[in-house]
Amino acid sequence: MSKILGICFFLLTVGFANRAYAQMPIDSNIVIQFSGIVVTADEDNRIIPLPYTNVAIKGSTRGASSDLNGFFSFAALQGEVVTLSRLGYKTVEYTIPDTLHSNLYSIVQIMSEDTLLLPETVIFPWPSRKHFEIEFLALDVSDVQREAAKENMSPELLAELRQNMQVDGTEVGRMVIAQQAADFRYEGQFKPQRIFDPLAWKQFIEAWKNGDFKNDKKD
Protein backbone atom coordinates (compact mmCIF):
# COMPACT_ATOMS: atom_id res chain seq x y z
CA MET A 1 0.00 0.00 0.00
CA SER A 2 2.85 2.40 0.81
CA LYS A 3 4.37 1.75 -2.65
CA ILE A 4 1.05 2.62 -4.31
CA LEU A 5 0.70 5.85 -2.32
CA GLY A 6 4.30 6.75 -3.13
CA ILE A 7 3.79 6.25 -6.87
CA CYS A 8 0.49 8.18 -6.78
CA PHE A 9 2.23 11.06 -4.99
CA PHE A 10 5.01 11.00 -7.59
CA LEU A 11 2.55 11.10 -10.49
CA LEU A 12 0.57 13.96 -8.94
CA THR A 13 3.79 15.88 -8.24
CA VAL A 14 4.90 15.46 -11.84
CA GLY A 15 1.48 16.63 -13.06
CA PHE A 16 1.51 19.79 -10.93
CA ALA A 17 5.10 20.54 -11.92
CA ASN A 18 4.25 20.20 -15.59
CA ARG A 19 1.36 22.66 -15.25
CA ALA A 20 3.48 25.13 -13.33
CA TYR A 21 6.25 25.26 -15.90
CA ALA A 22 4.10 25.01 -19.03
CA GLN A 23 4.77 27.59 -21.70
CA MET A 24 2.62 26.58 -24.65
CA PRO A 25 0.50 23.59 -25.79
CA ILE A 26 2.35 20.70 -27.38
CA ASP A 27 1.43 19.76 -30.90
CA SER A 28 -0.82 16.65 -31.16
CA ASN A 29 1.81 14.87 -33.26
CA ILE A 30 4.54 15.13 -30.62
CA VAL A 31 5.25 12.00 -28.59
CA ILE A 32 4.47 12.12 -24.86
CA GLN A 33 5.34 9.77 -22.00
CA PHE A 34 2.03 8.24 -20.84
CA SER A 35 2.22 6.69 -17.37
CA GLY A 36 -0.21 5.58 -14.71
CA ILE A 37 -1.31 3.16 -12.02
CA VAL A 38 -4.09 0.58 -12.36
CA VAL A 39 -5.91 -0.23 -9.12
CA THR A 40 -9.04 -2.05 -7.98
CA ALA A 41 -10.94 -2.71 -4.74
CA ASP A 42 -10.70 -5.97 -2.80
CA GLU A 43 -13.44 -7.65 -0.76
CA ASP A 44 -12.91 -5.16 2.08
CA ASN A 45 -13.12 -2.18 -0.33
CA ARG A 46 -9.41 -1.47 0.08
CA ILE A 47 -7.53 -0.04 -2.88
CA ILE A 48 -4.95 -2.55 -4.17
CA PRO A 49 -2.77 -2.58 -7.31
CA LEU A 50 -3.92 -4.56 -10.33
CA PRO A 51 -0.91 -6.17 -12.04
CA TYR A 52 -0.76 -7.69 -15.52
CA THR A 53 -3.32 -5.26 -16.96
CA ASN A 54 -2.99 -4.75 -20.71
CA VAL A 55 -2.66 -1.06 -21.57
CA ALA A 56 -2.54 -0.48 -25.34
CA ILE A 57 -3.27 2.14 -27.94
CA LYS A 58 -6.57 1.21 -29.59
CA GLY A 59 -6.11 -0.14 -33.11
CA SER A 60 -2.36 -0.65 -32.75
CA THR A 61 0.19 -2.98 -31.18
CA ARG A 62 1.79 -0.29 -29.02
CA GLY A 63 1.35 -0.47 -25.27
CA ALA A 64 2.54 -2.13 -22.08
CA SER A 65 1.42 -4.24 -19.12
CA SER A 66 1.17 -3.04 -15.55
CA ASP A 67 3.77 -4.45 -13.17
CA LEU A 68 3.23 -5.95 -9.70
CA ASN A 69 2.50 -2.47 -8.32
CA GLY A 70 0.02 -1.70 -11.10
CA PHE A 71 2.40 0.80 -12.74
CA PHE A 72 2.83 1.21 -16.49
CA SER A 73 4.56 3.68 -18.81
CA PHE A 74 5.03 3.95 -22.57
CA ALA A 75 5.18 6.49 -25.40
CA ALA A 76 1.96 7.77 -26.95
CA LEU A 77 0.50 10.68 -28.93
CA GLN A 78 -1.99 13.28 -27.82
CA GLY A 79 -5.57 12.44 -28.75
CA GLU A 80 -4.97 8.67 -28.95
CA VAL A 81 -7.44 6.28 -27.33
CA VAL A 82 -5.93 3.95 -24.72
CA THR A 83 -7.61 0.62 -23.91
CA LEU A 84 -7.12 -0.97 -20.46
CA SER A 85 -8.20 -4.60 -20.28
CA ARG A 86 -7.73 -7.57 -17.98
CA LEU A 87 -9.44 -10.94 -17.73
CA GLY A 88 -12.36 -10.72 -15.28
CA TYR A 89 -12.54 -6.90 -15.36
CA LYS A 90 -14.49 -4.42 -17.45
CA THR A 91 -12.51 -2.92 -20.31
CA VAL A 92 -11.88 0.81 -20.01
CA GLU A 93 -11.12 3.26 -22.82
CA TYR A 94 -9.32 6.51 -22.04
CA THR A 95 -8.62 9.34 -24.48
CA ILE A 96 -5.38 11.25 -23.97
CA PRO A 97 -6.18 14.98 -24.08
CA ASP A 98 -4.96 16.83 -27.17
CA THR A 99 -4.39 20.11 -25.28
CA LEU A 100 -1.55 19.09 -23.01
CA HIS A 101 1.05 21.58 -21.81
CA SER A 102 3.76 19.01 -21.21
CA ASN A 103 5.26 15.92 -22.76
CA LEU A 104 4.50 13.94 -19.58
CA TYR A 105 1.01 12.74 -18.68
CA SER A 106 -0.16 10.35 -15.95
CA ILE A 107 -3.43 8.85 -14.67
CA VAL A 108 -4.75 6.62 -11.89
CA GLN A 109 -7.28 4.17 -13.35
CA ILE A 110 -9.72 2.14 -11.23
CA MET A 111 -10.85 -1.17 -12.75
CA SER A 112 -14.10 -2.88 -11.71
CA GLU A 113 -14.82 -6.60 -11.89
CA ASP A 114 -16.92 -7.82 -14.81
CA THR A 115 -19.89 -9.85 -13.58
CA LEU A 116 -21.50 -12.21 -16.08
CA LEU A 117 -25.26 -12.39 -15.56
CA LEU A 118 -26.86 -15.65 -16.66
CA PRO A 119 -30.54 -15.96 -17.64
CA GLU A 120 -32.86 -16.46 -14.70
CA THR A 121 -33.72 -20.07 -13.89
CA VAL A 122 -36.89 -20.81 -11.93
CA ILE A 123 -37.24 -24.25 -10.32
CA PHE A 124 -40.78 -25.35 -9.58
CA PRO A 125 -41.01 -28.06 -6.88
CA TRP A 126 -43.66 -30.73 -6.77
CA PRO A 127 -46.89 -29.57 -5.10
CA SER A 128 -46.34 -32.14 -2.35
CA ARG A 129 -44.29 -35.19 -1.44
CA LYS A 130 -47.25 -37.40 -2.36
CA HIS A 131 -47.27 -36.04 -5.93
CA PHE A 132 -43.52 -36.73 -6.19
CA GLU A 133 -43.97 -40.34 -5.00
CA ILE A 134 -46.73 -40.94 -7.56
CA GLU A 135 -44.65 -39.60 -10.45
CA PHE A 136 -41.47 -41.34 -9.28
CA LEU A 137 -43.15 -44.75 -8.97
CA ALA A 138 -44.75 -44.29 -12.38
CA LEU A 139 -41.34 -43.59 -13.96
CA ASP A 140 -40.46 -46.31 -16.44
CA VAL A 141 -36.73 -46.92 -16.78
CA SER A 142 -36.04 -49.55 -19.39
CA ASP A 143 -33.07 -51.89 -19.36
CA VAL A 144 -31.63 -50.08 -22.38
CA GLN A 145 -31.65 -46.74 -20.54
CA ARG A 146 -30.15 -48.36 -17.45
CA GLU A 147 -27.31 -49.91 -19.41
CA ALA A 148 -26.67 -46.62 -21.22
CA ALA A 149 -26.44 -44.81 -17.88
CA LYS A 150 -23.96 -47.37 -16.55
CA GLU A 151 -21.85 -47.06 -19.70
CA ASN A 152 -21.82 -43.27 -19.53
CA MET A 153 -20.68 -43.39 -15.89
CA SER A 154 -17.99 -46.03 -16.39
CA PRO A 155 -14.55 -45.22 -14.90
CA GLU A 156 -12.89 -45.69 -18.29
CA LEU A 157 -15.15 -43.15 -20.02
CA LEU A 158 -14.83 -40.63 -17.17
CA ALA A 159 -11.03 -40.97 -17.28
CA GLU A 160 -11.05 -40.37 -21.03
CA LEU A 161 -13.22 -37.27 -20.59
CA ARG A 162 -10.89 -35.90 -17.92
CA GLN A 163 -7.92 -36.45 -20.24
CA ASN A 164 -9.38 -34.98 -23.44
CA MET A 165 -11.87 -32.36 -22.26
CA GLN A 166 -10.63 -28.84 -23.01
CA VAL A 167 -10.25 -26.29 -20.24
CA ASP A 168 -12.68 -23.38 -19.89
CA GLY A 169 -11.93 -19.66 -20.03
CA THR A 170 -11.45 -19.28 -16.28
CA GLU A 171 -8.83 -22.03 -16.10
CA VAL A 172 -7.01 -20.66 -19.16
CA GLY A 173 -6.97 -17.20 -17.58
CA ARG A 174 -5.47 -18.55 -14.36
CA MET A 175 -2.79 -20.43 -16.29
CA VAL A 176 -1.88 -17.31 -18.28
CA ILE A 177 -1.70 -15.13 -15.17
CA ALA A 178 0.42 -17.73 -13.35
CA GLN A 179 2.81 -17.94 -16.32
CA GLN A 180 3.06 -14.15 -16.52
CA ALA A 181 3.74 -13.97 -12.79
CA ALA A 182 6.55 -16.52 -13.13
CA ASP A 183 8.05 -14.61 -16.06
CA PHE A 184 7.99 -11.32 -14.14
CA ARG A 185 9.47 -12.98 -11.05
CA TYR A 186 12.56 -14.25 -12.85
CA GLU A 187 12.85 -11.49 -15.45
CA GLY A 188 16.49 -10.78 -16.28
CA GLN A 189 17.83 -13.88 -14.50
CA PHE A 190 17.91 -17.65 -14.77
CA LYS A 191 15.14 -19.60 -13.11
CA PRO A 192 16.35 -21.53 -10.02
CA GLN A 193 17.27 -25.14 -10.59
CA ARG A 194 15.83 -27.82 -8.30
CA ILE A 195 19.11 -29.70 -8.04
CA PHE A 196 19.60 -28.28 -4.53
CA ASP A 197 15.94 -28.71 -3.53
CA PRO A 198 15.74 -31.23 -0.62
CA LEU A 199 12.08 -31.98 -1.36
CA ALA A 200 12.94 -32.89 -4.95
CA TRP A 201 15.75 -35.19 -3.75
CA LYS A 202 13.34 -36.82 -1.28
CA GLN A 203 10.85 -37.56 -4.06
CA PHE A 204 13.67 -38.94 -6.25
CA ILE A 205 14.96 -41.27 -3.49
CA GLU A 206 11.46 -42.54 -2.68
CA ALA A 207 10.78 -43.20 -6.37
CA TRP A 208 14.12 -45.06 -6.61
CA LYS A 209 13.24 -47.23 -3.60
CA ASN A 210 9.79 -47.98 -5.01
CA GLY A 211 11.33 -49.13 -8.28
CA ASP A 212 9.69 -46.49 -10.43
CA PHE A 213 12.78 -46.31 -12.65
CA LYS A 214 13.05 -50.05 -13.31
CA ASN A 215 12.57 -51.26 -16.86
CA ASP A 216 9.77 -53.81 -17.02
CA LYS A 217 10.93 -55.13 -20.41
CA LYS A 218 12.87 -58.36 -20.28
CA ASP A 219 15.45 -59.33 -22.86
Helix (H, G, I), strand (E, B) or coil at 22: coil
Q: Are 50 and 25 in contact (CB under 8 A)?
A: no
Closest CA to 22 of 102, 107, 106, 105: 102
| CA angle, 170 then 64 then 176, to 5° | 20
Number of domains in the chain: 1
Question: What's the order of all strands across the beta sheet hosting 81-85?
Answer: 63-65, 54-57, 81-85, 92-95
Residue 35 bridge partners (DSSP): 73, 106
Whether residue 122 is contained in a domain is answered as no
Whether residue 56 is contained in a domain is answered as yes
| Per-residue model confidence (pLDDT) at position 196 | 72
Whether residue 206 is contained in a domain is answered as no
Whether residue 26 is contained in a domain is answered as yes
Whether residue 6 is contained in a domain is answered as yes
The arithmetic mean of pLDDT across residues 115-120, rounded, is 74
| Per-residue model confidence (pLDDT) at position 16 | 45
Residue 64 predicted with pLDDT over 90: yes
Band of residue 56 on the pLDDT scale cut at 50, 70, 90 = very high
Band of residue 149 on the pLDDT scale cut at 50, 70, 90 = confident
Whether residue 167 is contained in a domain is answered as no
| CATH code of 14's domain | 2.60.40.10
- Its domain, for residue 57, covers 2-110
Residue 137 predicted with pLDDT over 90: no
User: Does the reported pTM lie above 0.75?
Assistant: no
Whether residue 175 is contained in a domain is answered as no
Lowest mean pLDDT among 10-24, 38-52, 166-180: 10-24
The arithmetic mean of pLDDT across residues 88-100, rounded, is 91
Whether residue 208 is contained in a domain is answered as no
